[in-house]
Amino acid sequence: MPTDTEVVQTAADAAEGVIYSRYKQSRVKDVDVTVSFDDGILDVDIYLNPPDDHDADPERVIDDAAAAAQDAVDELFAAEG
């Protein structure tokens, strides 16, 4: 079974991966991905201040990043199972 730290890191890495696949990292004004895993519940909170001159919808990117975090954690548990 993965540790809480592994779960949090896996989720954060996945969320950031989605964000930086849509926006060039140096162009993002601010991003904060906060992940907690308590009593088997994953909570992912994402704040994103995207570049002004980009076509990607920030709300969609946040939703996709949160979904990727959940999927990555599901895969982590499946691999450990």
Task: Give all domains of the chain, ordered by start, each with its CATH number.
Answer: 4-80 (3.30.300.100)
More confident residue, 9 or 1: 9
pLDDT of residue 56: 87
In the chain, the percentage of residues whose pLDDT exceeds 90 is 90
The mean predicted confidence, pLDDT, of the chain is: 95
pLDDT digits 0-9 by tens, 44-62: 999 999 998 888 899 999 9
CA 44/CA 41 separation, integer angstroms: 10
CA 23/CA 17 separation, integer angstroms: 10
CA 65/CA 52 separation, integer angstroms: 19
